[in-house]
């Protein structure tokens, strides 16, 4: 787990690392799978933000999507958990070592079906963690059955019609208290990179649902998670400009046409409104927008909701700043006197 020195003359980031330090193993996913494009965007965002890959923990569950941490950030620490159980592993890992940056990749089945109980508790805790759902509306790894994010009335390749309503993971995350909720499309390079960079600057749970077509099992007519459907029904809420704290760039915009949000690390997020006045800090408006776009058969993309100053789980638990894993025994074990006092109080 180390980075290698870039060759002379190579383009490097603010840490002096070239993009190779952010790549992973060669993908074994199908050519054209949306998940591969998301891995590329993760590589771009971490490289451009100058995050030290050795200080990153990448986690996942089970599925084609959950294989993808192998395809980015080779020098990072990785843990592939049991199906749907990544949130509890992530919670333990982040609490044990809060000096690391945690990113998890899950699937719509891993999150919305077997892992839904774990997902809801992760969202309500506001753990500092980036949680990506690579959403293809099916169980790709087990040959394309409907997942809980498949839309009512959408069809499988075989013609079977889905007769259950979809779970909207973004609505759920906002309702439960996640402080950064976004939706994007694997084919939208610019938007997805900006969303990921903003997530890297946020302190709290970032839930990013990325529509990521499965070319093998769910890219046909009748699917609402195909490339064609996503391109036609993507409703961007606005143009995202992300200015990292280490770049001093001024951008001009007409007053009243944009919302500027200052992130935890001092980076700035400028959201230029396209349609009506969308305020990403307004939870009620976010829920209403998701509800209305879904009713029209469309999906709103961009940063749907952000609460930059909300206490994260570490603050809620009143943890010390040092990583718990590095504390000496005498600081984590109660003294004999303290234990005697507890025993005395129970008599």
Residue 141 CA: distances (Å) to CA of 136, 144, 275, 300, 301: 11, 7, 38, 27, 26
Q: How many Å from the N-terminal Cα to the C-terminal Cα in the chain?
A: 52
Helix residue spans in the chain (DSSP H): 34-49, 64-67, 86-96, 108-109, 116-125, 169-176, 189-200, 227-233, 283-295, 313-316, 329-332, 336-346
Interaction between residue 148 and ligand TPP (CB under 6 A): no
Q: Which residues bind ligand SF4 (CB under 6 A)?
A: 29-30, 33, 35, 64, 136, 140-141, 214-217
- Per-residue x/- track, 26-65, ligand TPP (CB under 6 A): ------------------------------------xxxx
Interaction between residue 108 and Mg ion (CB under 5 A): yes
238 interface partner picked from ligand TPP, ligand SF4, Mg ion, none, CB below 5 to 8 A per type = none
Distance between CA 195 and CA 291 in Å, rounded? Answer: 21
**Nearest-CA neighbor of 46 among 76, 68, 26?**
76
Interaction between residue 126 and Mg ion (CB under 5 A): no
Residue 32 CA: distances (Å) to CA of 38, 173, 215: 11, 29, 6
Distance between CA 320 and CA 102 in Å, rounded? Answer: 18
Are the C-beta atoms of 186 and 166 separated by less than 8 Å? no
Q: Which of residues 61-90 bind ligand TPP (CB under 6 A)?
A: 62-65, 83
CB of 309 to ligand SF4, least distance (A): 37
- Per-residue x/- track, 59-98, Mg ion (CB under 5 A): ----------------------------------------
Q: Which one of residues 91, 136, 218, 259 is an interface residue with Mg ion (CB under 5 A)? A: 136
Q: Which one of residues 22, 47, 72, 139 is an interface residue with ligand TPP (CB under 6 A)? A: 139
Q: Which residue is nearest to ligand SF4 (CB)?
A: 140
Residue in the structure block whose two tokens are 């999507």: 65
Interaction between residue 107 and Mg ion (CB under 5 A): yes
What residue ranges bind Mg ion (CB under 5 A)?
A: 107-109, 136, 140
What residue ranges bind ligand TPP (CB under 6 A)?
A: 62-65, 83, 107-110, 114, 134, 136, 138-142, 147
């Amino acid at each position: 787990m180390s980075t290698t020195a870039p060759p002379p003359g190579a383009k490097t980031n603010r840490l002096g690392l070239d993009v190779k330090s952010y790549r992973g193993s060669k993908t074994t996913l199908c050519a054209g799978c949306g998940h591969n494009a998301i891995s590329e965007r993760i590589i771009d965002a971490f490289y451009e933000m100058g995050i030290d890959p050795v200080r990153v923990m990448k986690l996942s569950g089970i599925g084609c999507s959950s294989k993808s941490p192998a395809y980015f950030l080779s020098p990072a620490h990785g843990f592939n958990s049991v199906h749907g159980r990544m949130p509890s592993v992530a919670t333990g890992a982040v609490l044990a070592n809060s000096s690391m940056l945690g990113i998890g990749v899950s699937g719509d089945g891993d999150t919305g079906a077997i892992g839904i109980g774990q997902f809801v508790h992760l969202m309500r805790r506001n753990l500092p963690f980036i949680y990506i759902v690579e959403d293809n509306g099916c169980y790709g790894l087990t040959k394309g059955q409907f997942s809980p994010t498949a839309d009512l009335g959408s069809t499988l390749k075989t013609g079977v019609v889905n007769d259950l309503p979809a779970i909207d993971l973004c609505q759920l995350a906002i309702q439960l208290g996640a402080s950064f909720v976004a939706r994007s499309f694997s084919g939208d390079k610019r938007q997805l990179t900006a969303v990921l960079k903003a997530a890297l600057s946020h302190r709290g749970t970032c839930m990013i649902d990325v529509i990521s077509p499965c070319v093998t099992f769910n890219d046909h007519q009748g699917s609402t998670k195909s490339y064609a459907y996503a391109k036609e029904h993507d409703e961007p809420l606005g143009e995202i400009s992300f200015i990292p704290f280490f770049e001093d760039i001024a951008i001009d915009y007409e007053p009243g046409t944009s919302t500027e949000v200052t992130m935890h690390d001092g980076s700035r997020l400028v959201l230029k409104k396209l349609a009506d006045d969308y305020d990403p800090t307004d939870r009620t408006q976010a829920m209403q927008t998701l509800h209305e776009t879904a009713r029209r058969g469309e999906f709103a993309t961009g940063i749907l909701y952000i609460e930059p100053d909300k206490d994260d789980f570490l603050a809620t638990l009143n943890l010390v700043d040092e990583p718990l894993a590095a504390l000496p025994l005498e600081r984590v074990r109660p003294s004999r006197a303290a234990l005697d006092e507890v025993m005395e109080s129970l008599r």
